[in-house]
Amino acid sequence: MMIKETMILLNEDYNMSPGKVSDNISPVESALENDNREGEFLKQLISRGNLLEAKEVSQMLVTEQKGLKRISILIILRQLYKNLMLPEAEKILITENLINRKVAVSQDRTRRNMVRRIF
The pLDDT, as a whole number, for residue 74 is 94
Residue ranges of the domains in the chain?
2-15+25-118
pLDDT digits (tens, 9 = 90+) for 23-54: 444 555 555 566 678 888 888 999 988 899 99
Query: Percentage of residues in the chain with pLDDT exceeding 70?
Result: 71
Segment 74-89 mean pLDDT: 92
Q: Is the pLDDT of residue 12 over 90?
A: no
Burial 20-45 (b: 16+ CB within 10 A, else e): eeeeeeeeeeeeeeeeeeeeebbebb
Please check whether residue 68 is in contact with residue 20, taking contact to mean a CB–CB distance below 8 angstroms: no
Residue 5 or residue 108, greater confidence: 108
Q: Pick the closest to residue 30 from 42, 40, 18 (CA basis).
A: 18
Q: Is the pLDDT of residue 21 over 50?
A: no
Distances in Å between the alpha carbon of 74 and those of 12, 53, 79, 102, 103? 17, 16, 9, 11, 10
The pLDDT, as a whole number, for residue 100 is 93
Average pLDDT of every residue of the chain: 79
The pLDDT, as a whole number, for residue 50 is 87
